[in-house]
A and B are shown apart, each in its own frame.
Chain A
Amino acid sequence: MTRKLLIFAYWLAAAGTFAAAAVRVFLWTPDEVTMGIIQKIFYFHLPVAINTFVACTVCFVGGIGYLVQRKTWWDDLASAAAKVAVVLCTGVLLTGMLWARGAWNVWWTWYSPRLTFSFMLWLLFIVYLIVRASVEGSQRRAVVGAVYGLIAYLDIPLVYLSARLLPDQFHPADITLAPSMKLTLAISFLPITLITMGLITLQYRLHRARRAASVDSVAMPAAGVQPTFIGGAL
């Protein structure tokens, strides 16, 4: 009971801080001079982007942990984080596209290294999920996932640098933020980070529960019935 209450309180806090951040973004933060109201998407865009990296890092750590210790919970952590990373990266892409539309009047441009980078990152981690789904056998799946996750994570800095090789037509010099804007940005980090951590935990617990269920079905297979891995890949 207390556990449920705590979980409820956690999500309530996440929702509450999110609402508070949204109110602050729209009511108590000045509009940016050149871009106007569309710049407000930035207070959502940047925290989500940073949390995408956090989720990718958790996935990487989980993969390494699995390769070293061969404990299944590392693998569950890695795949949970990868899923959350894909969701967050989708958020980064969508907000980035909205921002591009508002600021440069195009939905997509290859000339924005950051947009291209988010797209390549999204591809990297969506492939992680697909590869996991295609591998049979939970042990093999964990190894393949861990190795791919490791290589993909090491690829991120290179992807970032290579995206900057593309000619950059649009990006203004780094935006300087007024102090009140900085405060708003800091405030909006809180709900996004809470949501990220909550989602990873949620996914992780789901994977653990699925694995426990599938281990039980392997331990006690019904006569003539092949043990099934309910825990599938995705």
Chain B
Amino acid sequence: MNTTLRQIAVLVAKDLRIEGRTRHTLGLVVVLGILIISVLGFGIGSQPQAAALGTPAILWVAYLFSGVLCFEKTMATERQDGALAGLLLAPIDRSVIYAGKLLSNLTLMLTVAAVITPIGILFFAFDLSPAPFGFIAIISISMLGFAAIGTLFSALVSSTRLQGGLLAMVIFPLVLPLVIASTQQLTAMFRDHTPPGGMGLAVLLAFVAIFLTTSWIVFELVLEP
């Protein structure tokens, strides 16, 4: 168990170190997120009522597109110079590679969210004060589910040609329940002032649980140098 954790830590540290030195992914993804929010801001920012209610959905659009780009980029790093082949040759379980990739993707996505969410909140005058921690909790759970699917399919799709756009196409329909449940929970919290819970939260947690386990199991089938 300890060895597994250490292996995962090594993999995550490697990914984050690469990212820290090159800043290939984060810069690009954060700017894309900001751009998406600005475009939507120009479109509906002039209707404050609609904008305030739609903020969770607007943020999700930004998360989805930045997320897909982020997953694509982190996997592309592995494909350079046969890094993935080396990783596959290392004496570690394939599911450890999945866990490592998932954690680094999650870290990156949470960082991205930490930058673009305040911007979205600022632009659309979204009042976070009713439930700031609930907001963070719901977004974090959703990000975990999103990263679970994203990590699996970035490995699956990146080994095929025609990557551009395909990953988004695969991930979007699959994460629809996550997006709906997440926005529903946020709307309930901030418009109706009810605490998170009920079926929305159940769908969120079920999504995370089901796709973490499934991805963990099938990941070794999809990796190919």
Binding site for B on A (CB under 8 A): 67, 120, 123-124, 127, 130-131, 134-136, 140, 143-144, 147-148, 150-152, 154-155, 158-159, 161-166
Contact flag A154-B203 (CB < 8 Å), given A134-B166, A140-B160: no
A196 to chain B, nearest CB (A): 23
Residues of B near A152 (CB, < 8 A) are: 173-174
Contact A165 B160 (CB under 8 A): no
Contact A140 B211 (CB under 8 A): no
Residues of A near B221 (CB, < 8 A) are: 67, 143, 147
Contact flag A151-B199 (CB < 8 Å), given A67-B221, A134-B160, A161-B177: no
Contact A124 B177 (CB under 8 A): no
A110 to chain B, nearest CB (A): 10
Q: Does chain A have a CB within 8 A of B89? A: no
Residues of B near A131 (CB, < 8 A) are: 157, 166, 169-170
Contact A120 B176 (CB under 8 A): yes
A150 to B217, CA, bound (A): 12
Q: Does chain A have a CB within 8 A of B1? A: no
- Is chain B's interface secondary structure helix, strand, loop, or mixed overall? helix
Contact flag A151-B173 (CB < 8 Å), given A143-B221, A144-B160, A161-B199: no
Q: Does chain A have a CB within 8 A of B136? A: no
Considering the complex, give the chain B residue whose CB is closest to the CB of A165.
Answer: B184
Q: Does chain A have a CB within 8 A of B40? A: no
* Sampled A-B contacts (10; CB under 8 Å): A124-B173, A131-B166, A135-B160, A143-B156, A144-B156, A144-B157, A144-B160, A148-B153, A154-B214, A161-B202
A14 to B59, CA, bound (A): 50
Residues of B near A151 (CB, < 8 A) are: 149, 152, 174, 211, 214-215
Contact B224 A159 (CB under 8 A): no
B162 to chain A, nearest CB (A): 5
Contact flag A150-B218 (CB < 8 Å), given A131-B166, A134-B162: yes
Residues of A near B124 (CB, < 8 A) are: none
Contact A155 B169 (CB under 8 A): no
Contacts A124-B174, A135-B160, A166-B180 known; 10 new A-B pairs at CB < 8 A: A67-B221, A130-B169, A131-B170, A144-B160, A147-B156, A154-B214, A161-B202, A161-B203, A162-B178, A162-B181
Binding site for A on B (CB under 8 A): 149, 152-153, 156-157, 159-162, 166, 169-170, 173-174, 176-178, 180-181, 184, 199-200, 202-203, 206-207, 210-211, 214-215, 218, 221-222, 224
Considering the complex, give the chain B residue whose CB is closest to the CB of A116.
Answer: B180
Contact A136 B169 (CB under 8 A): no
A150 to chain B, nearest CB (A): 7
Contact B180 A163 (CB under 8 A): yes
Contact A165 B166 (CB under 8 A): no
- Name the contact of B199 in the complex, choosing from A127, A136, A164 (C-beta under 8 A): A164
B118 to chain A, nearest CB (A): 27
Residues of B near A67 (CB, < 8 A) are: 218, 221
Contact A165 B152 (CB under 8 A): no
Residues of A near B178 (CB, < 8 A) are: 162
Contact A148 B170 (CB under 8 A): yes
Residues of A near B200 (CB, < 8 A) are: 165
Considering the complex, give the chain A residue whose CB is closest to the CB of B224.
Answer: A140
Residues of A near B160 (CB, < 8 A) are: 134-136, 140, 144
Contact A136 B161 (CB under 8 A): yes
A162 to chain B, nearest CB (A): 4
Considering the complex, give the chain A residue whose CB is closest to the CB of B166.
Answer: A134
A106 to B8, CA, bound (A): 53
Contact A120 B211 (CB under 8 A): no
Contact A159 B156 (CB under 8 A): no
Residues of B near A124 (CB, < 8 A) are: 173-174
Residues of A near B206 (CB, < 8 A) are: 158, 161
Residues of A near B176 (CB, < 8 A) are: 120, 123, 159, 162
